[in-house]
Amino acid sequence: MAGDKEMAAAYWQANLRLIAGCLVVWALASYGFGILLRPMLSGISVGGTDLGFWFAQQGSILTFIALIFFYAWRMNQLDNKFGVHEE
């Protein structure tokens, strides 16, 4: 019984670390590159506009979509590791 609680706690900690990492990447892409670092990125051109504007309009959305797929892939690995995968 104690082993199950320890496994559940380790699984939950791994899940929270994954969520926190994904949120940091998303915040950096949307808020960091799109707002805070936009003046530094203005000299780099992407698709006819500067990189900061591109991150504010497209990059943060594409980053979010990539994070969804990454999260699903990584959670499948964690599920298999902790023995809670679906059949």
Prediction pTM value? 0.84
- Give per-10-residue mean pLDDT for the chain (87 aa): 83 96 94 88 85 86 96 96 82
Which residues, 6 or more positions from 33, have their beta carbon under 8 angstroms from its beta carbon? 41, 51, 52, 55, 56, 59, 60
Phi, psi at 85, each rounded to 5° = -75, 160
* Residue-level pLDDT at 4: 85
**Whole-number Å distance between alpha carbons of 33 and 13:** 29
Check if the beta carbon of residue 75 is closer than 8 Å to that of residue 15: yes
